Amino acid sequence: MKLTDLSIQVRQRSHWEAIDLGFSLVQQHWRALIIPYTLLVILIAIPVWLILPEAYLWVASLIIWWLKPLYDRLLLHSLSRQLFNQTTTTAEAFSALPQLIRHTGLWSALSYRRFSFSRSYNLAIWQLEGLSGQARRKRQELIYLQGHSNAVWLTIACVHLEWIVLFSLYMLILIFDPSGATWEHIKSLFRGELEMDTQYWRSLLDFVFLILTILAIEPFYVAAGFMLYINRRTQLEAWDLEIAFRNLGERLAGLTKVNHSGLASLLIILVTSGLILSLTPPVNAQTLTKTEAHEVLAAERLPAEQATAKINEVMQLEELNSRRKISTWIPKDKTAKQEEENQLPEGLIQLVASIFKTLLWIGAFLAFILALIYRQKIFALLSPLRQPTKRAPAPEVLFGLDLRPESLPEDIAGTARRLWEAGQAREALSLLYRGALVILTHQEQLAIHTSHTEGDILKLAKSATAPERYAYLRTLTQLWQRIAYAHRIPETRELLPLFEGWPAFQTPRVELASSEVAP
Amino acid sequence: MNATVPTPRLSLEQASRLAEQIHTEIAKALIGQHAVIRETLIALLAGGHVLIEGVPGLGKTLLVRALAKTIAGQFARIQFTPDLMPADISGHVLFDMHNQRFDVRKGPVFTHLLLADEINRAPAKTQSALLEVMQEQQVTIEGLAYPVPLPFMTLATQNPLEQEGTYPLPEAQLDRFLLKIYIGYPSLEEEIAMINAVTNQQIGDRFQLDQLQAVVTPEAVSAMQQVTAQIAVDQAVVEYAARITQATRQGQGLRFGAGPRGSIALIRAARAQALLEGRDFVHPDDIKQIALPVLRHRVSLAPEMELEGYNTDHVLKAVLEKTEAPRQ
């Protein structure tokens, strides 16, 4: 496989672009693809049609549909060679068929993998990479990391396209069938009432239409899946970079050759031009006009004066100077005449314009003075615009604790103290700590996440709260950690300052129902 | 400084105070690098081993020498080279012609502090010679197990720059290290203080450790390790450590995550961290603070993340940000 032989431009594409490229590939190489593919389908369809009894023609349709993975392999065989600019003849394609049947996982594709939604995407792993077992699974996992969902959607889209083509063919017959028999047949398909005398011909029609549909859509499906795969490999193996480096290497190698072979000529040119320059009088660059500078660069161009004369001379030729008088009817322009009649004197217009201009300047000056005087009010009005991003609302539930202000008792410190006195030390401290978190999240707008530990919250609070408040929170956190993680109940003398200090901790801002807090 | 004579049984306060004294003594020699000293102490208290990574000349050897001097322990250094053999580390049996018997010649691992300098310069076979002693604290020579003196600690160093001709440590070996410590450049002030300390009326550039005092004995260090092991860990904290380790296995950006030894190491290191702060219980912050040195060598970065310039610390920080902290 030589990447430089690729017939497509290799670059990072989106998955949808890659699918589009697959469709283009079929359009580009349809002649090479369609003959072996059609031949294969027909060679299978005719014996199936002949062998099966008349009443079981629908089984033939099923077989033809079921064998799609086989056609896919032949299509991919041709496509993969077309991709590297190798044309495959029909004979070559058919001679590769036994190999394709044996070594590309066809049996699994025709049995338990028949309904795979990413058949066209993973086909290249089976067929071109020749992998199987664990290696194939690993490779497939890697390839599937990206583009798999697109492959699934490609399958779904192609199934729909097949139905569209199938019904279009029915519609075509419907248009050209004056007897209405086709319409009856379509209706009977849905009603399940088939007439025995015409059933065979109608089933044959279904069979032919199915073959035509598969012939029309399957190459696009396989090519699109293949291009998705190629795009994924380009991403994984940086084919685009490799090609770029190869081209760069070739270019540089070519340059080196030219440099070596042309070194002598270059020296000769340099010496000769140096001699010529030394013999000609020096020209001051500033004395050269732009035209003259160009003339120095392009010897075949005429000087400006001569060029004008030459152009005039050319324009005198009859072919370029034929002037004709053409008469035609045009509508009368009445409005122009009226405008002429209503035209104001020029002096009056100038006067009005000057007055307006002066008024405008005076207005602008007054606006500036007023803006200067009322700048505070203007800034106040603009302040909402300066804070376009509102802070996220405080969380209601955090790490399992209900942090809604309404979930807390009105008197947090009082309730905690009662809990403490009732011997529920843990609940008392939990309530205080929860209350503190509510204040931090609602008042101080601290962004506390579930991953934040008590220490992290302290660090956040240190920069956001007043030192007294931070000191209170630190003590509360330490006691909380001790009861939570060491299961050690603090002394009453340690807790009392917390109960007493709670109102001060809570009051710096009065948004949280400060009036309801017990003194 | 008054060299206290430590008793075999220590209280938490005593152990914590001794740890602080060790820190202060080492900091006299290894100027700056407080985080490195602290993490080394955590490993010592937790009975673990450390892998120190840093460019040459930052004081890795000095750290070990200073630690050995401070704990009055034995110190041995092995310079790992490509031709180093496992027997050069563990020891071997020689036939004594004079006495007509086999004598065991114990290797340099029979010490308290073992400095395995540039461990990644020796092949995997030689590196693996350390596995048994690091895990079991014993060495098997000719079928007989010989215990190493306790406390035993391996401090291995590796240089992140010169990767040519090195043998990356196998995952099984890496997992044996409790912590992987990064040692970075000192700040300007620290470097000036270091220059003054090293060049003051002294020949050569080696830091004289004479001014350092032994503040504990190896027996006291063992007692401190016992105190560390008794520090309480709540079930919620254990679950938090396990959740972090689990998250490394599921997190994006990592080729593979840490094993259960990572969770165990988190708890061991967090206990030592709590002791250094004089606490007799572990809280989630201890786990979070020690998570990076504990886990960074137990996970492997995905190639695409490596290409994008991320390191394991970046990914581990993201994992910590996503792991729910315990709430009681």
Q: Where are the alpha helices (DSSP H) in B146-277?
A: 171-176, 188-199, 218-229, 235-250, 260-276
Homologous superfamily of the B231-328 domain (CATH): Magnesium chelatase subunit I, C-Terminal domain (1.10.8.80)
Instruction: Please list the residues that pair with A402 across neighbouring strands.
Output: A397
Question: A453 and B281 in contact by Cβ < 8 A?
Answer: no
The first and second tokens of residue B126, run together, are 């030689």
Which residues in chain B (188-227) have CB-CB distances under 8 A to chain A? none
Instruction: List the single best residue of B285, B288, B290, B304 to mutate versus A (max A Cβ within 10 A).
Output: B285
| Integer-rounded Cα radius of gyration of chain B | 20
* Cα atoms in the Cβ-side hemisphere of radius 13 Å centred on A391: 11
Domain extent listing, chain B: 1-230, 231-328
Q: Confirm if A234 and A143 have CB atoms less than 8 A apart.
A: no
- Sign of CA pseudo-dihedral B80, B86, B88, B91: positive
* CA gap B241, B223 in Å, rounded: 26
- Model pLDDT, residue A224: 94
* CA gap A213, A12 in Å, rounded: 32
* CA gap A56, A52 in Å, rounded: 6
What fold does the segment set A397-516 form as a domain?
Four Helix Bundle (Hemerythrin (Met), subunit A) (1.20.120)
Q: Which of B234, B179, B202 is nearest to B53 (CA)?
A: B179
Question: B283 and A453 in contact by Cβ < 8 A?
Answer: yes
* CA gap A57, A48 in Å, rounded: 9
Q: Does B144 touch chain A (CB under 8 A)?
A: no
SS3 B96: strand
- Model pLDDT, residue A393: 58
| Contact residues on chain B for A481, CB-CB shorter than 8 A | 281, 283
- Model pLDDT, residue A284: 43
* CA gap B209, B78 in Å, rounded: 20
Q: Where are the alpha helices (DSSP H) in A85-147?
A: 90-95, 97-103, 106-110, 119-127, 133-144
Q: Which of B61, B38, B178, B36 is nearest to B116 (CA)?
A: B61
Amino acid code (one letter) for A131: L
Please give the interface size between A and B, counted as residue pairs whose CB atoms are below 8 Å apart.
Answer: 59
- Model pLDDT, residue B102: 82
- Model pLDDT, residue A480: 84
Q: Does the bond joining A331 to the residue before it have cis omega, within 30 degrees of 0?
A: no
* CA gap A129, A510 in Å, rounded: 71
Over residues B149-178, the pLDDT tens digits come to: 888 888 888 877 666 667 888 777 788 888
| Contact residues on chain A for B290, CB-CB shorter than 8 A | none
- Would you write out chain B's pLDDT as a tens digit for each of its 328 residues? 344 444 467 787 888 888 888 888 888 777 778 888 888 889 988 888 998 888 777 777 788 888 888 888 888 888 888 888 888 887 878 888 888 888 878 888 888 888 888 888 888 888 877 887 888 888 888 777 888 888 888 888 887 766 666 788 877 778 888 889 888 888 888 888 777 777 776 666 566 677 778 888 888 888 888 888 888 888 888 988 898 998 888 867 888 888 888 889 999 999 998 988 888 888 888 898 899 999 988 888 887 777 777 888 888 888 888 888 886 5
The chain B residue lying nearest A431, using CA atoms, is B328
What is the DSSP code string of A422-436? TT-HHHHHHHHHHHH
The residue ranges of chain A whose pLDDT is under 50 are 264, 266-297, 388-390, 509-519
Q: Where are the alpha helices (DSSP H) in A374-411?
A: 375-386
SS3 B187: coil
Q: Does B67 touch chain A (CB under 8 A)?
A: no
The first and second tokens of residue A397, run together, are 């539930």
Q: Which of B313, B312, B314, B269 is nearest to B287 (CA)?
A: B269
ipTM score above 0.85: no
- Model pLDDT, residue A383: 64
Return the H-helix or E-strand segment holding B325: none
Residue with tokens 């058949």: A119
Of B281, B283, B325, the CB nearest to A451: B325
The chain B residue lying nearest A398, using CA atoms, is B327
* CA gap A165, A174 in Å, rounded: 14
| Contact residues on chain A for B302, CB-CB shorter than 8 A | none
Distances (CA, A) of A74 to A30, A67, A210: 14, 12, 19
Q: Confirm if A506 and A512 have CB atoms less than 8 A apart.
A: yes
Of A401, A451, A482, the CB nearest to B322: A451
- Model pLDDT, residue A260: 55
Question: B285 and A482 in contact by Cβ < 8 A?
Answer: no
Q: Which of A73, A133, A129 is nearest to A101 (CA)?
A: A73
* CA gap A254, A444 in Å, rounded: 69
Question: B285 and A430 in contact by Cβ < 8 A?
Answer: no
- Model pLDDT, residue B126: 80
What is the DSSP code string of B276-321? HTT-SEE-HHHHHHHHHHHHTTTSEE-HHHHHTT--HHHHHHHHHH
Instruction: Give yes or no on whether B1-230 and B231-328 have one common fold.
Output: no
Q: Does B252 touch chain A (CB under 8 A)?
A: no
Instruction: Please list the residues that pair with B95 across neighbouring strands.
Output: B102
* CA gap B263, B291 in Å, rounded: 10
| Contact residues on chain B for A454, CB-CB shorter than 8 A | 283-285, 325
**Domain B1-230 belongs in CATH node 3.40.50.300:** yes
Question: A484 and B328 in contact by Cβ < 8 A?
Answer: yes
Phi, psi of B76 (to 5 degrees): -135, 150
Of A451, A482, A486, the CB nearest to B324: A451
- For helices A196-237 and A57-66, the axis angle rounded to 10 degrees is 0
Question: A485 and B321 in contact by Cβ < 8 A?
Answer: no
Question: B325 and A482 in contact by Cβ < 8 A?
Answer: no
- Model pLDDT, residue A19: 93
Domain extent listing, chain A: 3-242, 397-516
Q: Does B322 touch chain A (CB under 8 A)?
A: yes
* CA gap B86, B211 in Å, rounded: 36
- List all residues 6 or more positions away from A212 whose beta carbon is below 8 Å from its beta carbon: A165, A169
